[in-house]
Amino acid sequence: MPFIILRLSEEFEMTVEPSRLPPQVQERLLRLQQLQQTLQNVLVQKQQLELELTELEQALNEVEKLSEDAVIYKSIGTLLVKRDKAKVINDLNERKELLNMRISVLGKQEERLRGQVKELQEKIQQDLRPMSPS
């Protein structure tokens, strides 16, 4: 049987044979893996949105520097459509607001998931303490 190394924190690491773990611990380990994967997905999404927000803010700054009569084209699918400055600024600000809201929601989700991961790690550590060599 293969062994796995459980590292739940910097202080807690042990090598175990999965089939020798109690079913409850096996279920908790599976749940922990799922939570960690979900957390990783949330972090990736949040990072992508933060990058998009940075790019959007740069575009907004550049558009605001333009004169009122500047010719601005917005990409819509495969077309470039002429837009007036005020409309472009309004569209960018709406997108910025949406991105900030989505980033905030993902931040709250990240915080909740981190709490769940920590709580589950502590439960698993408690479950395994009797099994760990002294």
Average pLDDT across the chain, whole number: 89
pTM for this prediction: 0.80
Residue 1's pLDDT band (boundaries 50, 70, 90)? Answer: very low
User: For 4-131, CATH number?
Assistant: 1.10.287.370
Percentage above 70 pLDDT, the chain? 84
Token pair listed for 133: 């060599």
User: How confident is the model over 71-117, as pLDDT tens digits?
Assistant: 999 999 999 999 999 999 999 999 999 999 999 999 999 999 999 99
- Any idea which residue has 């409850």 for tokens? 24
CA distances 58 to 45, 62, 63, 97, Å, are 20, 6, 9, 15
Q: Give the residue extent of every domain in the chain.
A: 4-131
What is the C-alpha separation between 133 and 76, in angstroms, rounded?
64
